[in-house]
Amino acid sequence: MVVCSVLRRTILAAARNDRVKGLVARAPVSRSVVARFVAGEEADDAVRAARELEQDGLTVTLDRLGEDVLDAGQATDTVKAYCELLHRLSAEGLTAGGRCEVSVKLTAVGQAIDEALAVDGARTICEAARDAGTTVTLDMEDHTTTDSTLGILRQLREDFPSTGAVLQSYLRRTEGDCRDLAHAGSRVRLCKGAYKEPETVAFQTATEVDRSYVRCMKVLFAGEGYPMLATHDPRLIAVAEQLGAGRASDSWEFQMLYGIRPNEQRRLVQEGRTVRVYVPYGDEWYGYLMRRLAERPANLAFFARALVTRS
């Protein structure tokens, strides 16, 4: 516990230090870590990654890195960048039938400044996605944002019913949220959850989180929505295959992160599954990786493991 908190403080201090940032960003090992988990810094890199993944039979969701924005101008720039990206993807024929969509963090478009700003920004991105023939999924951030994010989701779905939700099985409330969202037309990504959360709201052990994930999957599969199972966990993938066996193969999908278990992603495609790869891009990768590592030291093991295996 003490080691974790010292590690967290050290990583967060390093994340804020420009000299450390320069050293990390230039180190050859960082370049390989970033290249493995992030498509690149520019929209061109995102488009290239999407094209390559689609050629391998995978579908894609693109995330422009950035979060916790406290400057309204920066939030507007993010919205503009998403719209331009969607336009590019459409022009390249990558969005047809929703094969390439986008994932948006509401704090990147102003949720922490003013909820109305985030709603406007998300709505503009949803319009651009609809024009491009594809969809938007709202990423889920820490538990203090859950009610606001689900409220914004409800508003967006009035005009853009295919907007996707994300629920995190580590939250005690999530089985109930799955019940609320397991209706026809509702796209729901289920993940374990990536933030450091208190015991009052979240399960703390891996076993509890996994059991909750299975309960939530059962609720989603029993409903009429479109479950999107975001996990690299072989046991949960096997349970999903069993639960999904009675459903049409195009009525649910697996999702995994760019660079994590790429061979498994392709194996599932060979078996006839839909697999969507979550591809982050942009120049905010340093803060993103460092915060994820600091928040939850288990994330360090997660990325380290992916570096030594492609399975």
256 binds ligand FDA (CB under 6 A): yes
| The only residue of 195, 252, 281, 285 in contact with ligand FDA, by rule CB under 6 A | 195
- Please enumerate in sequence order all residues whose Cβ is within 8 A of that of 216, keeping only pairs 6 or more positions apart, or say none: 167, 169, 174, 175, 178, 190
Q: Of 189, 261, 276, 296, which is the active-site residue?
A: 189
Tokens of 163: 């907007």
Query: Does 179 participate in catalysis according to the annotation?
Result: no
Smallest gap, in angstroms, from Cβ of residue 190 to ligand FDA?
Answer: 9
Question: Rounded CA gap, 32 and 38, in Å?
Answer: 10
273 binds ligand FDA (CB under 6 A): no
Q: Where are the extended beta strands (E) located within 119-164?
A: 136-138
Residue type, 205: T
289 binds ligand FDA (CB under 6 A): no
Tokens of 273: 């599954």
263 binds ligand FDA (CB under 6 A): no
Smallest gap, in angstroms, from Cβ of residue 18 to ligand FDA?
Answer: 28
Tokens of 61: 């969701």
Tokens of 63: 């995330």
194 binds ligand FDA (CB under 6 A): yes
Q: Which stretch binds ligand FDA (CB under 6 A): 90-98, 125-133, 215-223, 232-240?
A: 232-240
192 binds ligand FDA (CB under 6 A): yes
311 binds ligand FDA (CB under 6 A): yes
| The only residue of 49, 94, 166, 182 in contact with ligand FDA, by rule CB under 6 A | 166
Q: Which residues of 251-284 are buried (b: 16+ CB within 10 A; e: fewer)?
A: ebbbbbbbbbbbebbbebbeeebbbbbbbbbbeb
| The only residue of 40, 164, 193, 223 in contact with ligand FDA, by rule CB under 6 A | 193
255 binds ligand FDA (CB under 6 A): yes
Query: Does 189 participate in catalysis according to the annotation?
Result: yes
DSSP state of 247: S
Question: Rounded CA gap, 285 and 259, in Å?
Answer: 14
50 binds ligand FDA (CB under 6 A): no
Q: In a 3-state reduction of DSSP, which class is residue 146?
A: helix
| The only residue of 226, 278, 286, 288 in contact with ligand FDA, by rule CB under 6 A | 278
- Residue 108, classified by CB atoms within 10 Å of its CB into exposed (0-12), middle (13-18) or buried (19+), is buried
107 binds ligand FDA (CB under 6 A): no
Q: Where are the extended beta strands (E) located within 156-271?
A: 165-168, 187-191, 226-230, 253-257
Q: Of 63, 139, 177, 210, which is the active-site residue?
A: 139
Question: Rounded CA gap, 38 and 63, in Å?
Answer: 10
Give the catalytic positions in this structure.
139, 189
User: Which positions lie near ligand FDA, rule CB under 6 A?
Assistant: 139-140, 166, 168, 191-195, 230-234, 255-257, 260-261, 278, 302, 305-306, 309, 311
